[in-house]
Structure 1
Amino acid sequence: MQFVESFFALIGDFTWGWALIPFLVVIGIFFTVITGFVQFRFFLRMFRVLSSKNQSGDPNAISAREALLLSVGGRVGGGNIAGVAVAITLGGPGAVFWMWAIALVGMATSLIECSLAQLYKRSAGDGTYHGGPARSILYGLGKQYQWLAILYAVCLIASFALGFNAFQGNTVAGAVEESLGIGRLWTGIALTVITGVIIFGGIHRIAKVADVIVPIMAIGYIGIALVIILLNFTEIPAVLYTIVANAFGFEEAVGGGMGAAIAQGLRRGLFSNEAGLGSAPNVAATAEVRHPISQGITQSFSVFIDTMIICTCTAMVILMGDVYTPGAEGVDGIVLTQQSLVSHLGEWTSYFLAAAILLFAFSSIIYNYYLGENALSSMTGNAAAPQILRVVVMGVVFLGATAPNATSVFFFSDPLMGILAMVNLLALMMLFPTAKRILDDFKDQLRAGIARPVLDPDKFADLDLDRTAWTGKAPD
């Protein structure tokens, strides 16, 4: 067992330690420049997804907004609350600046990977679609790369559907026990039953639940943060100056200075917004849209919401309070965020934060499950396979919730996510010429005065597209 743990630790060091993060940064910058800063050019267009005009008339179809909210529910989690606090503790206030920077370039990466997932999606025959990096590899690169698609799918199932769901179950049970005094067993039973009811309802029920709980959790958390920011309005210039000064080494809040700020900001930012990691495209592909780039723009917006809005809210709550002391030890992670909220608005906010964590973690559980189901469907069409996965995921959630030390069994999660991301980035680079073609098609239609571009599959007859998913006609 020690050998296995050491082996995965070596993989983790290779990917997250000194290979993956520079790769993600370089690719994000490359996509940003080559596409003509597409995430900024289409920024205002991102907000169109919130309009009811952009929802499909097919009751069986997953709308662009539902896909957005499901992906936001997956991206937003502990990284936005505890992760930001850890970044500030270890990297100083300057880490926040580098979280912003990686999010801005990551928006381009997310646009490309999610557009490709949309392009190569397959119709399930019931108004829904399946897609993601595994299918992009299979249909975009060809059957000779099937081994790469399988490697991606296995890593996705093991890391997200199993490992990360055990951690989320543990987070929920721990928060409930700490704030309400309810035992882990009862929380585990309740969480497992609710999870089962939702995931056995398939993608439709998962999307409908996300459409309800994600706005509640996001608006509630942002609302509390805005109250704190308004109460400390005069401190905004000083806080922004501190963030920038620490980011570029003009001030040093922790040992390591600018280097620590960059390392922590980039690492925590990537963990939080998931741009380039290959997870969100699985959800992006479920939406019924007129053109693949439309969903790419929507998912770029998801990265913006995650980091530029929600992570910034957490950072402001911490940096405007009197709990955080640069260089001090003992208070970090979720405790730092919790104590900062209490210092601003009182003890009741600790219960509010516990409720927010519950919603964040639960939305991540159903998101993680769907990633696993989608990856499994790319490997086998056996109707029993998803049913088995659902039962296994329920068991993993219960195990993570009831046994605090059980999550140590899933030590392989982070290393496998590193492999997952490397496979995804390799595929993105190989498929980028195709992504550039559909992006140019989208831009050409806009220049021709077409307000809502539609993909014409006849223009891309050389690509292996599903003609039932792309008919060349706008959905009703």
Structure 2
Amino acid sequence: MIDFLNTVFWGYVLIYGLLAVGIYFTIRLKLVQLLHFPEMIKAVRGSRAGDHAGISPFQALCTSLASRVGTGNIAGVAVALYLGGPGAIFWMWVVAALGMATALAESTLAQLYKVRDHNGNYRGGPAFYIARGLGAPWAAVLFSICLILSFGLVFNAVQANSIADAVQGAFGVDKVVSGVVTAALTGVIIFGGISVIARVAEVVVPFMALGYLAVALIALIMNIGEVPGVIGTIVSSAFGFEQAAGGVTGGIMAALLNGVKRGLFSNEAGMGSAPNIAAVATPDPHHPVSQGFVQALGVFIDTLLICTATAIVILLSGQLEPGSGLTGTQLTQAAMETHVGSFGAYFIAVAIFFFAFTSIIGNYSYAENALVYLGVDSTAGKTILRVAVLGMVLWGAYESVSTVFNAADASMGLMATINLVAIVLLSGLVARLVKDYLAKRKRGEVPHFVADEMPELKGEIDTEIWSRP
């Protein structure tokens, strides 16, 4: 049954659904992610300080990147290249550009429909706009349960498994030891709650992303004369002009399908995950769309910067040999060793640790928001979730997680399908909010949204949050 559901969700519904929704919002929002890219930088730079109820836009960006940037940016890109050839990277770029519009839409809605929990902190996400905006609380409950199962539990076991494999391969550390250390570090952070997760992400994520990009840049500079040729190969292979570089299965379809799949899995746009942390932010300017721009930038950084860095390192190394069997993390390690010697294997192991570890704490933050919607976010409820997360980290570090991972894929597939339907049904509201934001910018104003501007939303949104000066 699980295999059947995965075939339906990932073979048909989501691959084409996520792509179609990205195209739809790109057209509906009039290329907002391309024409107003500078606005994304402004929205992140607006403030480094949240208010008493939320985290800052920069912290929200870093926390969402903590979850987005995972082992897929290292191993997933290598698999896409192996199966689809260099052209797969071009289609990853395309799907990221489209996904930026989807990410903007879902995070804008999450901001608009956010609430305060019993401690006065901002909470929100797809469950809230599904229940309040569409009047479908049953779908919101189903979404929340799927989110906790996939992101909160199983995917964290998968990330722990990646850490244990990488550390054992590079340093010979026993997997049980890796699991215990990873669980201990995770516990210190997640027991502090979302505010602590955000503060850790604010420091660790820029460090890991910039460090990884810096090493990739060194490889690029060392081979600067070959870079134009590599870019040319990526583009020409995407359209089947270089069939020999088309991957194992060959041709344009191999490049397109593998690029689209890996791009969608990596940037998570439309999945309904990142909006859970987007809702917790205090937007600056005080408008739901500003956090939409922040999360759109997250998709850009994840795919167009970090995934591209991995791809360029591999293509410049000459290690990509379709049919050789060298793929995934091993291919990326071999490529890095070509550029920087034996240090490369150790560097990739360390990178996987940071990428996977930050994914664990980012994923937990999403699950905690789902608890709030389900009404089980008491101290006992959160403690049970945190202990379960640590248990999955320990288990995942030592055991094979392939079977459970298939179940989580099915759970995430259902969750993403519910979210896609919801944001399309609410797309008219997204378009109005984006139009309002950009019109105020054009008039030279700082965009500011108040509930009175859309009286028809009374009873759906927290008017106190959106009536502040």
TM-score category of the 2 structures, normalised to the smaller one? over 0.9
Which of 432, 451, 456 aligns to 1:437? It is: 432
Which of 221, 229, 235 aligns to 2:220? It is: 229
Q: 1:238, 1:138 → 2: CA distance? A: 51
Q: 2:51, 2:370 → 1: CA distance? A: 25
Corresponding residue of 2:449:
455
The count of aligned residue pairs is 461
Q: Residue 462 of structure 2 aligns to a residue in which SS?
A: coil
Letter in 1 for 2:466: W
Corresponding residue of 1:263:
257
Corresponding residue of 1:3:
none
Q: 2:356, 2:28 → 1: CA distance? A: 36
CA pair 271-346 structure 1, distance change in 2 beyond 3 A: same
Letter in 1 for 2:198: A
Q: 2:22, 2:102 → 1: CA distance? A: 5
Which of 356, 370, 373 aligns to 1:378? It is: 373
What is the deviation of 1:176? 1.2
Corresponding residue of 2:238:
247
Q: 1:239, 1:66 → 2: CA distance? A: 35
Q: 2:404, 2:265 → 1: CA distance? A: 21
How large is the Cα RMSD of the aligned pairs? 1.4
What runs of 5+ residues in structure 2 fail to find an aligned partner? none
Is 1:110–1:299's contact at 8 Å kept on the other side of the alignment?
A: yes
Corresponding residue of 2:273:
279
What is the deviation of 1:136? 0.7
Is 2:127–2:140's contact at 8 Å kept on the other side of the alignment?
A: yes
Q: CA-to-partner distance for each residue in 1:412-461, whole Å, 9 max, x for gaps?
A: 011111111110000011111111121121122112210x2111110122
Letter in 1 for 2:351: A
Letter in 2 for 1:16: W
Which of 24, 30, 45 aligns to 1:30? It is: 24
The farther-off stretch of 262-271 and 316-325 is: 316-325
What is the deviation of 1:41? 2.0
Is 1:170–1:400's contact at 8 Å kept on the other side of the alignment?
A: yes
Is 1:77–1:360's contact at 8 Å kept on the other side of the alignment?
A: yes
Q: 1:339, 1:127 → 2: CA distance? A: 50
Q: CA-to-partner distance for each residue in 1:213-268, whole Å, 9 max, x for gaps?
A: 10111000000001111111111111111111110011112333000000000000
CA pair 363-57 structure 1, distance change in 2 beyond 3 A: closer
Q: 1:392, 1:381 → 2: CA distance? A: 15
Q: 1:299, 1:10 → 2: CA distance? A: 32
Report whether the alignment pairs 1:355 with 2:317. Answer: no
What is the TM-score normalised by the length of structure 2?
A: 0.96
Q: How does 1:184-203 map to 2 (within 5 A)?
A: 184-203=175-194
Which of 37, 57, 70 aligns to 2:63? It is: 70
Q: How does 1:62-461 map to 2 (within 5 A)?
A: 62-124=55-117, 126=119, 128-142=121-135, 145-252=136-243, 253=245, 254=247, 255-289=249-283, 290-325=286-321, 327-383=322-378, 384-403=380-399, 405-450=400-445, 452-461=446-455
Q: 1:128, 1:98 → 2: CA distance? A: 39
Letter in 2 for 1:414: D
What is the deviation of 1:125? 5.7
Q: Residue 455 of structure 1 aligns to a residue in which SS?
A: coil
Q: 2:404, 2:410 → 1: CA distance? A: 13
What is the deviation of 1:399? 0.6
Q: 1:331, 1:394 → 2: CA distance? A: 32
Q: Residue 270 of structure 2 aligns to a residue in which SS?
A: coil
Q: 1:159, 1:406 → 2: CA distance? A: 13
CA pair 84-57 structure 1, distance change in 2 beyond 3 A: closer
Identity %: 46
Letter in 2 for 1:48: K
Q: CA-to-partner distance for each residue in 1:348-367, whole Å, 9 max, x for gaps?
A: 12111111110000000001
Q: 2:114, 2:61 → 1: CA distance? A: 17
What is the TM-score normalised by the length of structure 1?
A: 0.94
Is 1:42–1:297's contact at 8 Å kept on the other side of the alignment?
A: no
Is 2:95–2:260's contact at 8 Å kept on the other side of the alignment?
A: yes
Q: 1:387, 1:44 → 2: CA distance? A: 41
What is the deviation of 1:40? 1.1
Letter in 2 for 1:401: A
What is the deviation of 1:411? 2.7
